[in-house]
């Protein structure tokens, strides 16, 4: 399989970026990140700078493999992170445009790497259990019904990759915030902090993210299928505790 790659190159946050074209031959069983590894080996052996891209687990868990491929966050397949893509997913597309997340709150560090520390500041504002409970108790000490547990777990699967921000016309982080709020606020330990939604949404706006206009592109792009129902639940908590 032969691909023409148009990859975003940018030396630093203040430099002007541009697309650079490459040609590469791969097998259909090659993963997308392995393809980029192979490209970098060629670049380095020819004395050129490697393409900078972010990754860690390569198992769809950490969310750091944040790439926009042919206009789709994390690529064409749904419920998939970039590191889980294979080149066979693009057997009908010989030309690929690869770029970083596009959002003011996610400034480009270099090439395909963006700074997502704005998410960390949102978490610091309220995405934790503040009450001191001492040492961990036995798991079954606090009885929680299954529906509540399942709902909290569904929200907790958010990996904080930022795809929701990248595809939102407003560059909103509302789905991310809602997932974090509902993960904690639906459990007994987290119900104590009733100001969590307000604190995290205020910080979201402070970090330069936009507001939600219900485009629902975030839900479509999320690799963990986080539902916009989380936003509804968060808004309910927000107005209940004004």
Q: What is the pTM of this model?
A: 0.92
Q: Where are the beta strands (DSSP E) in the chain?
A: 2-9, 18-25, 68-69, 72-73, 95-99, 108-110, 113-114
Q: What is the pLDDT of residues 89-130, one digit of tens each?
A: 999 999 999 999 999 999 999 999 999 999 999 999 998 887
pLDDT of residue 133: 65
Distance set, CA 78 to CA 50, 108, 172, 206 (Å) = 29, 25, 20, 31
Whats the size of the chain, residue-wise? 242
Q: What is the CATH number of domain 116-240?
A: 1.10.1060.10
Q: What is the pLDDT of residues 21-34, one digit of tens each?
A: 999 999 999 999 99
- The CATH number of 2-109, from 3.10.20.30, 2.40.30.10, 2.60.40.10, 3.30.750.200, is 3.10.20.30
| Other residues' Cβ atoms within 10 Å of the Cβ of residue 239 | 9
Residue ranges per structural domain of the chain: 2-109, 116-240
Average pLDDT over residues 8-23: 96
pLDDT higher than threshold 70 for residue 66: yes
Q: What is the pLDDT of residues 128-152, one digit of tens each?
A: 887 776 777 776 777 888 888 898 9
């Amino acid at each position: 399989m032969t691909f023409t790659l148009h990859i975003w190159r940018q030396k630093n946050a203040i430099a002007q970026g541009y697309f650079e074209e490459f040609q590469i031959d791969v097998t259909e069983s090659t993963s997308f990140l392995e393809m980029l590894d192979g490209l970098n080996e060629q670049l380095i052996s020819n004395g050129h700078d490697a393409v900078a891209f972010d990754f860690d687990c390569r198992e769809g868990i950490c969310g750091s493999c944040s790439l926009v491929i042919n206009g789709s966050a994390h690529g064409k397949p749904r419920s998939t992170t970039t590191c889980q893509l294979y080149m066979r997913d693009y057997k009908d597309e010989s030309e690929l445009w690869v770029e970083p997340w596009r959002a003011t709150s996610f400034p480009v560090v270099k090439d395909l790497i963006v700074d997502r520390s704005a998410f960390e500041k949102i978490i610091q504002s309220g995405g934790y259990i503040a009450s001191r409970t001492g040492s961990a108790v036995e798991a079954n000490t606090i009885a929680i019904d299954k529906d509540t547990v399942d709902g909290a777990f569904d929200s907790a699967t958010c990996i904080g990759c930022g795809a929701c921000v990248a595809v939102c016309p407003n560059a909103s982080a509302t789905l991310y915030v809602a997932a974090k709020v509902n993960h904690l606020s639906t459990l007994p330990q987290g119900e104590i902090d009733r100001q969590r939604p307000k604190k995290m949404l205020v910080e979201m706006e402070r970090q330069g993210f936009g507001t939600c206009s219900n485009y629902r592109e975030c839900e479509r792009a999320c690799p963990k299928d986080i539902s916009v129902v989380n936003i509804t639940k968060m808004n309910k908590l927000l107005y209940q505790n004004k």
